[in-house]
A and B are shown apart, each in its own frame.
Chain A
Amino acid sequence: MPENSDKVILQANNLVKIYSQRSGKFGFGSTQIKALDDVSITLKAGSTLAVVGESGSGKSTLARCLLQLHPFDSGEVLFDGKDLAKLDAQSLRGMRKYLQMVFQDPFASLNPRMKVGEIVSEGLLIHGLGSAAEQKENMLQMLKRVGLNADDAQKYPHQFSGGQRQRIGIARALVLQPKVVVCDEPVSALDVSVQAQILLLLKELQQEMGLSYIFISHDLRVVRHVADEIVVMHKGKIVEQGKVADIYNAPQQPYTQQLLSAIPGRKAA
């Protein structure tokens, strides 16, 4: 935990995102789906905020709206006190290096035609951080930090296993020295042993680099291990939020209780 652990790094206020969907005969009608319905969250610097919910609850939409990858209909996202939605394209691009994302599918999220070295250093190139030699040095250091070799920079993504690819995805996000990293189901496609490796790696990196995580997951056992605070979403709304230990020990809302009692293996344990 950093010294000023109460500092808020990212804050979302009253986010609303509505998707319209064609419906009715021949799709002439339209229905509106509230993917985010008045969602507000606060991420403290150096901590991990987990967003949990079932499929369709709006957790991934929230992640994308926070990073301005999706426009939202109303509300505001404050990063370090600045409203991201009000920034012009160029300043927003400048901010993006502080806001990075690690994706769920380690197979789909890496360009198969790029070498790992190119994938990891692309962000440095785009943001013009350092000379070519420095960029390479940074990239190699980051690869080593996540447990890959210098030789791996010359390989293509298909030459790696799922866990190694997720390490590449983490290196790509962290090489820019971000402040906030949104992890969208980073371990749900991995075997338990690999999952444990990646979770430990994320935790170590958080302490070393002072990162703040938004950790999106449907696996409540994983969340229990990584998160400081938790937000439970259901049908686009936040049903409950608070400290992880409080919510797991004494869930207030019926939906949270139902979700927690569905964790497999709880009865026997």
Chain B
Amino acid sequence: MSEILKIVNLSITPHNALSRLLVNNVSLTLSAGKTTCIVGESGSGKSLTALSIMSLLSKQLQASGNIVFQGQDISKLNEKSLQTIRGAKIGMIFQEPMTSLNPVLTVGYQIGESLTAHLGLKGTLLKDKIAALLTQVGIPPERANSYPDELSGGQRQRVMIAMSIACEPVLLIADEPTTALDVTVQAQILQLLDALKTRMNMAMLFITHDFGVVSDIADDVIVMFRGEIVETGSKKDLLNNPKHPYTKALLACVPDAEGKKQLKPIDYAWLRDGLTETKVVA
């Protein structure tokens, strides 16, 4: 199994408050054909970690550490070299399918942009490829001439997926791609992503706050809390046998479909004391 991406000691701080660690010393490895889920509450740093992979962080934030992609450190690359990687070797899907598509361009044009930029496709070759991509994500190819507002939320997210896999990336980053969708549509999109991952042997980094989604799609799971990774493990181990008190607490407040579980909100004060204790022991 080949290693695609390695993040080593990533820390992110705002420029104007260098002591405030939004992401603290995060290291992780992604391998081909594997889906790694990052779970955490809002503000835990999961999206920042994903954005920093392609140097997409806001200018007010500063990142330190190394991002090693296929053996090359891409954290210090200039904008021009980054552009040869973004969209070509690393694809990204965002949460809001409405705000991440351009409303005045047809979806076909938007899918074609990266094909022209990275692969130099033009004319009928380009058209055929766009049609093939749309078919692959389950949209009739004639919809290439539609504008985003003519599509439903699920279809827009499919278009986003078609865009992100257009150049056959080796790594796909999906930042809460199904959060804005209905459950039945969510189930379809998850299935589609999983099938594409297997077919193209991609590494997938999947960000979510939903443990149900994790148990459907993940191979490995990373739990983040206040900017730090508190636990990593295979899906089976982590969901059935969580070790860290935060993971246990987080799992205890997820409602289950059977309604048997007693919901228990997280006691942050207890957790803070608990965490310092475990740290002292370690």
Contact = CB atoms under 8 A, between A and B. Distances in A.
B131 interface: no
Nearest to A198: B265
B147 interface: no
Interface stretch (A9-17, A38-46, A164-172, A221-229): A221-229
Contacts of A261: 187
A193 B211 contact: no
Contacts of B215: 264-265, 267-269
Interface string A236-269: 0000000011001000000000111111111111
A193 B253 contact: yes
A196 B265 CA distance: 5
Interface residues of B, number: 34
B257 A248 contact: yes
Contacts of A245: 259
A218 B259 CA distance: 16
B212 A263 contact: yes
B182 interface: yes
A260 B252 CA distance: 22
Contacts of B213: 264-265
A129 interface: no
Nearest to A191: B41
A264 B212 contact: yes
B184 A262 contact: yes
A192 to B, nearest CB: 5
A55 interface: yes
A264 B210 contact: yes
Nearest to B153: A55
Nearest to B261: A225
Contact of A259 (B184, B216, B249): B184
Contacts of A197: 265
A148 to B, nearest CB: 16
Interface in A144-176: none
A200 interface: yes
Given A264-B190, A264-B210, A200 B265 contact: yes
Which of A191, A195, A264: most chain B Cβ within 10 A? A264
Nearest to B208: A264
A262 B253 contact: no
Interface string B131-159: 00000000000000000000001000000
B46 to A, nearest CB: 12
B209 to A, nearest CB: 7
Contacts of A266: 212, 257
A192 B41 contact: yes
Interface of A: 54-55, 191-197, 199-200, 218-222, 224-225, 244-245, 248, 258-269
- List the 4 closest A-B pairs by CB distance, nearest first: A265-B212, A264-B212, A196-B253, A224-B259
Interface of B: 41-42, 153, 182-187, 190, 209-216, 235, 239, 249-250, 252-259, 263-266
30 contacts: A54-B183, A192-B209, A192-B210, A192-B250, A193-B249, A196-B265, A197-B265, A199-B263, A200-B263, A200-B265, A218-B182, A219-B255, A220-B183, A220-B257, A221-B256, A222-B255, A224-B255, A248-B259, A259-B183, A259-B184, A262-B183, A262-B186, A263-B183, A264-B187, A264-B215, A265-B214, A266-B212, A267-B216, A269-B215, A269-B257
Given A192-B254, A193-B266, 19 more contacts: A191-B42, A192-B210, A193-B253, A193-B265, A196-B264, A196-B265, A200-B263, A219-B183, A224-B255, A225-B259, A245-B259, A248-B259, A262-B184, A264-B213, A265-B216, A265-B257, A267-B216, A269-B215, A269-B257
